Amino acid sequence: MTAPVPGSAVRGDAVRQSLASFRREREADWKAFEALLARVEKRAPRTLSEEELLSLPLLYRSALSSLSVARATSLDNALVAYLEALSLRGYFYLYGARRGLRQRLADFFLHDWPEAIRDLWRETLVSVALMVIGIGAGAWLVASDKSWFDAIIPSSLAGGRGPDASAELLRSMLYDGDNGFLSGFAAYLFTHNVQVAILAFALGFAFAVPTVLLMLFNGCMIGALFQVYWSKGLGMELGGWLAIHGTTELFAIALAGAAGMRIGTSIAFPGELTRMAAAARAGRIAANAMVGVSVMLLFAGLLEGIGRQTITSDVTRYAIGGGMLALWIGYFYLFRMMRHGDR
């Protein structure tokens, strides 16, 4: 042990004293902030008194200033780490401004959803066109060679329908409602369709190629089915059977495909933005559209599972299908004009 050097120790002690008193004086504030944060993170801010609510930003700023002081003067790693974690929590809470649930829902249905769909109009047209091409191709293929039907529509889905089935069998499939299991069927259809729509959307990431294929193939299946019924003189009847829910469902699937295409194309061709920014922008529009798509598919599932089984008149089926389509188009594309007209 060497001889003590009083001068150095005394000067060191003075620094130690002042830093210790910094911590002593500020510590109560930090603890209070931590306790408040723990409370507001668990429960709604409503549970705080007005005084506590007002003190929250003050305590946050005090923690931030303590962090700056500690970083500049203190070499206590644990203290700096604690203040960093505390400030970050406070930052996320205070600047993560959130709207109430009711406000958020209203915004979604009044602005975000129709705006997202309107923004996707070009992709929607492409996606509808792809489906129409698919329908044409499917019908043409089956008309030229019956065996294409089995290749396009898996036998589990066809359920006995096919080019060789009799007209009576085909007709009975359109009008037989087996009423035992309607709402269960509707729920199943809804979840299944949403899963397919999400897949069509997510696959858009691969530069939209799988989404395009999916849209074409979807069209092909409808086309093949149509050809079979048309050749038996049941085209109109099948149209009604499809239209009652199909206008909503196919529109929703086309929109999901459009959302996927938007993502794929904006990653491939970001334009003036950076690729990252373009992807993030497309992702947010597409996400809004996708929530809307699942709402539409919920309607489609109800119409298909319940409406189609109980309503067997062709005219009513066409009327409901057409009405739904008009409703969606009006809501997405015309609604805004009306509101602007009012102003």
Q: Interface residues for another protein in 117-146 (CB under 8 A)?
A: none
Query: What Å distances lie between residue 172 and 82, 107, 160, 175, 241, CA to CA?
Result: 72, 45, 12, 5, 11
Does position 75 interact with another protein (CB under 8 A)? The reply is yes
Q: 2 vs 166, which CB is nearer to another protein?
A: 2
Binding test (CB under 8 A) with another protein, winner from 216, 279, 306, 329: 279
Does position 268 interact with another protein (CB under 8 A)? The reply is no
E strand segments, 36-133: none
Which residue's entry shows tokens 């119409």?
A: 303
Write down the least CB distance from residue 213 to another protein, Å: 14
Does position 315 interact with another protein (CB under 8 A)? The reply is no
Does position 110 interact with another protein (CB under 8 A)? The reply is no
Write down the least CB distance from residue 309 to another protein, Å: 13
Three-class SS state of 54 = helix
Q: 106 vs 276, which CB is nearer to another protein?
A: 276
Q: 11 vs 339, which CB is nearer to another protein?
A: 11
Site for another protein in 87-106 (CB under 8 A): 87-89, 91-93, 95-98, 104
**DSSP symbols for 172-212:** HHHH---GGGHHHHHHHHHHHHHHHHHHHHHGGGTTTHHHH
Pick the closest to residue 242 from 260, 223, 258, 259 (CA basis).
223
Binding test (CB under 8 A) with another protein, winner from 117, 137, 170, 194: 194
Does position 77 interact with another protein (CB under 8 A)? The reply is yes
The C-alpha atoms of residue 149 and residue 141 are separated, in whole angstroms, by 8
Binding test (CB under 8 A) with another protein, winner from 47, 54, 58, 68: 68
Site for another protein in 18-47 (CB under 8 A): 19-20, 23, 27, 30-31, 40-41
